[in-house]
């Protein structure tokens, strides 16, 4: 049974299985993404109801640009629709939206929707909903390392002074960005058991829960089941 007094502060989700969900029903892939968006909305609501501090979802990776123009365009249109339809509820529920990744390559209307969501929810103090958008774990680490290298080249920092904490704070999840830190729990749906370039630095001591449920079928109840599994784990962080 879920212990509501031990909800992890930060949960990250790899939302996988939209395409297979659609294929199983003889529908176009975009129908799967549309159904997946509905699941995401429900999970955000449940995370907020549980008092979670940070929820991060992997919405669009740096590798997803390899997909068809039609699918990529459709995903961005769904993003715009999400902001238009859910912004009022996010505001009413004190949810703050932040972005992990570089969303500057997105189409102008999608960037405008993202900017609107960030600006309108900036003052909210409840659940922080992080959307990983045009995000890649290796690119994120490279970005942080380059920042430190520039500081070293300028003489503001000696290489031997670089610490793990300095790298962490320069990541999208770091104190200088979103301040959500590392996730205690990472969930991946659809039966796949890999990270796919997601939160590679931050996952060092995260717990993983893999479920066969395809993302469009991933209900708030399934979400709670994953948290229950996490609560049964003994987290030792390398100790005994």
Cα distances from 215 to residues 14, 151, 193, in angstroms, run 9, 42, 14
In a domain, 157, yes or no: no
Question: Is residue 62 included in any domain, yes or no?
Answer: yes
Token look-up 């529920």 returns 93
Mean pLDDT of 196-207: 97
The average confidence (pLDDT) of the chain is 95
- How far, in Å, CA of 14 to CA of 16, rounded? 6
Within 8 A by CB and 6+ apart from 31, the residues are: 22, 25
Q: Looking at residue 238, what is its pLDDT?
A: 66
Look at residue 150 and tell me if it is in a domain: no
pLDDT, tens digit (0-9, with 9 covering 90-100), for 125-141:
999 999 999 999 999 99
pLDDT at 240: 59
Q: Is 238 within the bounds of a domain?
A: no
| Residue 239 pLDDT | 60
Question: What is the mean pLDDT of the segment spanning 96-106?
Answer: 96
Q: Is residue 49 part of a domain?
A: yes
Q: What is the pLDDT of residues 60-73, one digit of tens each?
A: 999 999 999 999 99
Domain membership flag for residue 102: yes
**Residue 51 confidence (pLDDT):** 97
SS3 content of the chain, % helix, strand, coil (to 5): 50, 15, 40
Report the SS3 class of residue 32: helix
Distance CA 56, CA 40 (A): 11
H or E element, residue 96: strand 96-100
The CATH number of whichever domain residue 123 belongs to comes to 3.40.1180.10
Question: For residue 173, is it within any domain?
Answer: no
What are the catalytic residues? 16, 64
The range of the structural domain enclosing residue 32 comes to 10-136+181-231
Task: Compute how many other C-beta atoms are within 10 angstroms of the C-beta atom of residue 139.
Answer: 15
Predicted pLDDT of residue 235:
75
Q: How many domains does the chain have?
A: 1
pLDDT in tens, 40-54: 999 999 999 999 999
- Would residue 36 count as lying in a domain? yes
């Amino acid at each position: 049974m879920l212990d509501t007094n031990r909800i992890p502060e930060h949960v990250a989700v790899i939302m996988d299985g939209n395409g297979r969900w659609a294929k199983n029903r003889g529908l176009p892939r975009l129908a799967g993404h549309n159904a997946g968006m509905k699941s995401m909305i429900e999970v955000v609501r449940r995370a907020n109801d549980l008092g979670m501090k940070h929820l991060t979802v992997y919405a669009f990776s740096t590798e997803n640009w390899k997909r068809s123009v039609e699918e990529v365009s459709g995903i961005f249109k769904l993003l715009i629709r999400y902001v238009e339809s859910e912004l009022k509820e996010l505001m009413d529920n004190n949810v703050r939206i932040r972005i992990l990744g570089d969303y500057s390559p997105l189409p102008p209307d999608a960037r405008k929707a993202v900017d609107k969501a960030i600006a309108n929810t900036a003052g909210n103090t409840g659940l922080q909903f992080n959307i990983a958008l045009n995000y890649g774990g290796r690119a994120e680490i490279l970005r942080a390392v380059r920042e430190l290298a520039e500081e070293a080249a300028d003489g503001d920092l000696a290489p031997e002074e670089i610490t793990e904490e300095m790298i962490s704070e320069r990541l999208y999840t770091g104190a200088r960005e979103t301040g959500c830190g590392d996730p205690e729990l990472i969930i991946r749906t659809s039966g796949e058991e890999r990270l796919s370039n997601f939160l590679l630095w931050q996952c060092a001591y995260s717990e993983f829960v893999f479920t066969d449920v395809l993302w469009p079928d991933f209900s708030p109840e399934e979400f709670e089941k994953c948290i229950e599994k996490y609560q049964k784990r003994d987290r030792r962080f390398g100790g005994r």
